[in-house]
Structure 1
Amino acid sequence: MAESIIDQRLAGGPRPELDLTRAEWQSTSRGVGGDVQVAFVEGYVAMRNGRSPEVPALIFTPAEWRGFVLGAREGEFDLT
């Protein structure tokens, strides 16, 4: 199933309807399909699992994305 216009209602409240059908997804790994992919669409950042692109993407505002990236860099999401 191809991604289409998705109304995201995830952590942080309602998200705008974004047309992701023409999004230019960037992979974070060099493997086939990658694991995490991001796209910059209409002033937002969309993130999805590259191995399951049919699953709806997470949508971040620029401030949320910055917080996520800084947290990841600091190990906030590490399991150990």
Structure 2
Amino acid sequence: MERPDTRTLLRGLLGPAAPEVSCDTCFEELDRYVDLELAGEDADAAIPGVRAHLDGCPACREEHESLLALAAERPS
């Protein structure tokens, strides 16, 4: 198991610096968020709060990383 770095620990203790969405909202918006990222768009501006949530929620961050990897492999 990998040990979290100091920044990750502080983020977990202090909470997000920006407004954050819930896990339900994050999950609902994740497909669109990933599509925007892959298109080179500003996903954070288009769907505020998702990045802050991903930074603080390991479960949603793992889902995001998996979806991003899977979407990046699909043919255009």
Using structure 2 for the length normalisation, give the TM-score.
0.31
Q: Which has the higher strand share?
A: 1
Q: Which has the higher helix share?
A: 2
Quick one: higher RCO (CA 8 Å, sep 6+), 1 or 2?
2
Using structure 1 for the length normalisation, give the TM-score.
0.30
